[in-house]
Amino acid sequence: MEGSVSLLQAGEPKTGFAYVVEKGDSLGEIALRYNVSVKEIKKWNKLKGDRIFEGQRLRIEAVSLRSYTVKSGDTLSEIALASNIPVSRLRDLNKISGDRIYTGQKLQLASDRKSIETPSVHVVQKGESLWDIAKKYDVSIAAIKERNHLKTEVIRPGMTLSLKDGPEENRTKEKTDEGDSERFEYKVRPGDNLSTIAERFDVAVSLLKQLNGLKENRIYPGQTLQLRPTSLDEAVHVVRSGETLSSIALKYRMNVSDIKRINEIEGSKIVVGQELRLKGTKPNVYIVERGDALWEVAQAYGMGVGELKRLNGLASDRIYPGQELQLGTAPARSFGTYTVKKGDYLGRIARLHQMSVADLKSMNNMKSALIHPGDQLKVKPFLQKGSEWLKISEINWDDLMGSSGGLRKITLGNGPYYGSRPKARRQSNRRYYESARLSLWNTYKRARKLQVALDRKISKMGRLSNCLNGWHIVIDPGHGGLDPGAVVANLDGNGDKVYVVEDEYVYDVALRVYVMLRLNGADVTLTLLSPNHLIRHSDPPVQTFVNEKNEVYNSRAFNRGNSRSHWPKGGRNGNLSRRIAIAENAFKHVPKNRRMFLSFHADIDHSAPNVPLVLYYRSRRTGRPDRASKRFAKSIQSFLGAGTVIRGQNLYVLRNSPANISVMLELRNLAYMDHAWALRFEELRQRDAEKVVRGVVEYVKKKG
Ligand SMILES: [Zn+2]
């Protein structure tokens, strides 16, 4: 979660601006979009009638929104960000305690009193003068200069200006238990230099310079430095429902033509979930995106991690979204290459790379949608090395999935399945589910058979490494049985709704992790098993996994009873304690410092950003974190990718876990369209699984 300080700083000033009319716009629509009246727009632009024309520039004055109606997909923190007020204030004004808001809800953005609260800080925007800022916040230029130790009135975009005296640092500290590693800004003290600050806050010197618009290494006592990127610094935007190219351009203060040029877009059509870059590539510089891990960047460009760190003055493996990484002699790719597989079609390839079919076609100068296996297509830049995925995937998954324990293998797009397959080919609404066909006991017996066959195959495969020898890791797919977790709507390549099911996804990722941890020498135990599938493919992705209520606990004892109450169930009246019991049993003869418990999830959390989240136990009463798990969370953070958040929380399975290291991994946040659709692609599930394994392996290596 972002602290209140960063939200304040990232806010956009909402004084006047020019809106360029697009084809099909009407005055009414524009008025609606900016929460002003048609009459006002006409007055500001001296318009007599309602006629407007494409390309016309309309002046929109003083958009001081007093209320806002929540739209589908909005989050409280985004609304706060866009309206330049802290989340805490938004909560107070609307008497909300958590982060839950609903579509259509009317949120108060200002109190009834006329006064507008002055934020503590302001980040200078392109083209802003000190005079603009003083006017905006109703403070004097002299006061701003004094407070910020400015000798002249020259300011630079990106500079953070303090607007009033406040215990900014203390407030940041109270909000988080991460201390220095998560601080958002820092006031330079005498004797500081950029490298000591960079080391202390785990950021690169080059990133500090990038964020603060510094040309050289000189800094001054009293100067406030921004330490981490805000969402505006990330230089990437994922298109949301209702957005147009011009509304996005407006949001980032860019020209539509620049966005089109950078993204090689020809028309003005964009699709929901499409990823737009906001900064062009420079030669030999890679701009980090959310979820990119340093080791992935290194691998994609054929470099060593050490080399990349040296080149960029990185003290650790942690990188941030929007950070510019020097690649040395390797030229940054402005596009990637995708090799067409059997059964591929353009819509699938476009979705995988978060672009539209039209852009994919124009990028490749294609007249028709006809493609053939083996064709090479230009795609949006992607961390991918030619046609091969990351090196660790040299495992022959198809061979592994040949194991069936004598059960009939059914090859379906979203399979393979063993013994039985779901009746439906896709999850077509939120409520759909299929109950298990066999009794609990027979389901368990079948699931064991399938698992034993897989284990036998793994044992015959050799090893990727022996570095996890002696470790026992319990893998807990966070949902299953009667509890599907989150079921979320998503759009397929044709814009039709399809649904993804959390438990089916986490089981797939958990199993991929299971295989790879074993191939690195670990003993691994799954808390849940499925009777009819192992890992699965996803072609075509329109066939998503159906909510099957047939997973069982991986324990003879818990299934012997053979009654409905023994199926896995979540929530307050569920049987989560069985996950703990299975772990206790698995760890029986394992030394405490060789036990690890990983619980996998992909929940909907509107208040969290669209990045992975690692949770460790933290006592609600004392606020004290489980230190070993927190250390692990911190370590795996950089391997899960840029932007990954870690947090202490009081959760049942973490509180009761018998392992020394216990974390819950929210690998995807289904509140976001791009994450929901990522679940449908095998390539992206595999990438998620590899990041986890890499994080575990590197942690153990470092620990020795
Ligand atoms: Zn979950």
Q: Tell me, in angstroms, the distance from the centre of ligand 1 to residue 447's CA.
A: 22
ipTM score over 0.85, yes or no: yes
544 in the same domain as 431: yes
Q: Tell me, in angstroms, the distance from the centre of ligand 1 to residue 136's CA.
A: 44
DSSP type of residue 341 = P
- For residue 388, the model assigns a pLDDT of 43
Q: Tell me, in angstroms, the distance from the centre of ligand 1 to residue 670's CA.
A: 10
Q: Tell me, in angstroms, the distance from the centre of ligand 1 to residue 550's CA.
A: 17
- For residue 6, the model assigns a pLDDT of 23
What is the signed CA dihedral for 81, 86, 89, 93, rounded to 10 degrees? -10
- For residue 67, the model assigns a pLDDT of 72
Q: Tell me, in angstroms, the distance from the centre of ligand 1 to residue 361's CA.
A: 37
Q: Tell me, in angstroms, the distance from the centre of ligand 1 to residue 613's CA.
A: 12
Dist CA 444 CA 551 (whole Å): 8
Q: Tell me, in angstroms, the distance from the centre of ligand 1 to residue 600's CA.
A: 7
Selection from 427, 437, 401, 436 nearest residue 416 by Cα: 401
Q: Tell me, in angstroms, the distance from the centre of ligand 1 to residue 507's CA.
A: 11
Where do runs of H (alpha helix) occur along 376-465?
397-400, 440-459
* Token reading at 591: 């030394």
Task: Judge contact between 615 and 492, C-beta under 8 A.
Answer: no
185 in the same domain as 280: no
**37: in domain:** no
Q: Tell me, in angstroms, the distance from the centre of ligand 1 to residue 19's CA.
A: 42
226 in the same domain as 202: yes
At 53-108, the pLDDT tens digits run 888 888 877 554 567 776 656 677 777 766 666 777 788 788 777 676 776 677 87
- Give the residue from 379, 405, 432 where a domain finishes: 379
Q: Tell me, in angstroms, the distance from the centre of ligand 1 to residue 72's CA.
A: 21
Q: Tell me, in angstroms, the distance from the centre of ligand 1 to residue 483's CA.
A: 10
Q: For strand 661-666 and strand 595-601, is the pairing parallel, antiparallel, or unpaired?
A: parallel
Q: Tell me, in angstroms, the distance from the centre of ligand 1 to residue 502's CA.
A: 7
Q: Tell me, in angstroms, the distance from the centre of ligand 1 to residue 611's CA.
A: 15
DSSP type of residue 160 = E
Q: How many helices (H) and strands (E) does the chain have?
A: 25, 28
211 in the same domain as 152: yes
Q: Tell me, in angstroms, the distance from the centre of ligand 1 to residue 578's CA.
A: 16
Q: Tell me, in angstroms, the distance from the centre of ligand 1 to residue 672's CA.
A: 15
Q: Tell me, in angstroms, the distance from the centre of ligand 1 to residue 402's CA.
A: 29
- Residue tagged 């979540």 (tokens): 570
Q: Tell me, in angstroms, the distance from the centre of ligand 1 to residue 667's CA.
A: 10
With 0-12 / 13-18 / 19 or more C-beta atoms within 10 angstroms meaning exposed / middle / buried, residue 495 is exposed
Where do runs of H (alpha helix) occur along 520-597?
556-560, 577-586
Q: What is the Cβ-side half-sphere exposure of residue 358, based on CA atoms within 13 angstroms?
A: 11
Q: Tell me, in angstroms, the distance from the centre of ligand 1 to residue 602's CA.
A: 5
294 in the same domain as 193: no
Q: Tell me, in angstroms, the distance from the centre of ligand 1 to residue 560's CA.
A: 27
**320: in domain:** yes
Domain count, the chain: 3
**Residue 368 host element (H or E):** none
At 366-394, the pLDDT tens digits run 888 889 988 988 887 666 543 344 455 56
241 in the same domain as 163: no
Q: Tell me, in angstroms, the distance from the centre of ligand 1 to residue 219's CA.
A: 45
Q: Tell me, in angstroms, the distance from the centre of ligand 1 to residue 603's CA.
A: 5
Q: Tell me, in angstroms, the distance from the centre of ligand 1 to residue 128's CA.
A: 44
Q: Which segments in the chain show pLDDT lower than 50? A: 1-15, 64, 112-117, 166-178, 385-390
Q: Tell me, in angstroms, the distance from the centre of ligand 1 to residue 236's CA.
A: 27
597 in the same domain as 449: yes
- Give the residue from 230, 260, 295 where a domain finishes: 230
Dist CA 678 CA 290 (whole Å): 13
Strand ranges for 88-132 from DSSP E: 106-108, 121-123
Mean pLDDT of the chain: 82
347 in the same domain as 243: yes
**581: in domain:** yes
Dist CA 296 CA 317 (whole Å): 11
Q: Tell me, in angstroms, the distance from the centre of ligand 1 to residue 489's CA.
A: 16
Q: Tell me, in angstroms, the distance from the centre of ligand 1 to residue 664's CA.
A: 9
Q: Tell me, in angstroms, the distance from the centre of ligand 1 to residue 440's CA.
A: 23
Q: Tell me, in angstroms, the distance from the centre of ligand 1 to residue 506's CA.
A: 9
Q: What is the DSSP string of 471-498?
A: -EEEEEES-BTTB---EEEEE-TTS-EE
186 in the same domain as 241: no
**96: in domain:** no
Q: Tell me, in angstroms, the distance from the centre of ligand 1 to residue 604's CA.
A: 8
Q: Tell me, in angstroms, the distance from the centre of ligand 1 to residue 570's CA.
A: 9
**Helix/strand/coil for 434:** strand
243 in the same domain as 226: no
**80: in domain:** no
634 in the same domain as 593: yes
Q: Tell me, in angstroms, the distance from the centre of ligand 1 to residue 317's CA.
A: 28
**13: in domain:** no
Q: Tell me, in angstroms, the distance from the centre of ligand 1 to residue 522's CA.
A: 25
Q: Tell me, in angstroms, the distance from the centre of ligand 1 to residue 649's CA.
A: 14
Q: Tell me, in angstroms, the distance from the centre of ligand 1 to residue 601's CA.
A: 4
Q: Please provide residue 435's backbone torsions phi and psi, each rounded to the nearest 5 degrees.
A: -80, 160
Q: What is the DSSP string of 643-657?
A: T-EEEEE--HHHHH-
Could you tell me the CATH number of the domain that includes residue 402? 3.40.630.40
Q: Tell me, in angstroms, the distance from the centre of ligand 1 to residue 485's CA.
A: 5
Q: Tell me, in angstroms, the distance from the centre of ligand 1 to residue 500's CA.
A: 13
276 in the same domain as 217: no
- Give the residue from 205, 230, 255 where a domain finishes: 230
**Helix/strand/coil for 184:** coil
Q: Tell me, in angstroms, the distance from the centre of ligand 1 to residue 455's CA.
A: 26
Dist CA 524 CA 518 (whole Å): 6
Domain assignment of residue 284, given as a range: 232-379
Could you tell me the CATH number of the domain that includes residue 145? 3.10.350.10
**374: in domain:** yes
**633: in domain:** yes
Q: Tell me, in angstroms, the distance from the centre of ligand 1 to residue 486's CA.
A: 7
Q: Tell me, in angstroms, the distance from the centre of ligand 1 to residue 605's CA.
A: 10
Q: Tell me, in angstroms, the distance from the centre of ligand 1 to residue 651's CA.
A: 12
Q: Tell me, in angstroms, the distance from the centre of ligand 1 to residue 479's CA.
A: 6
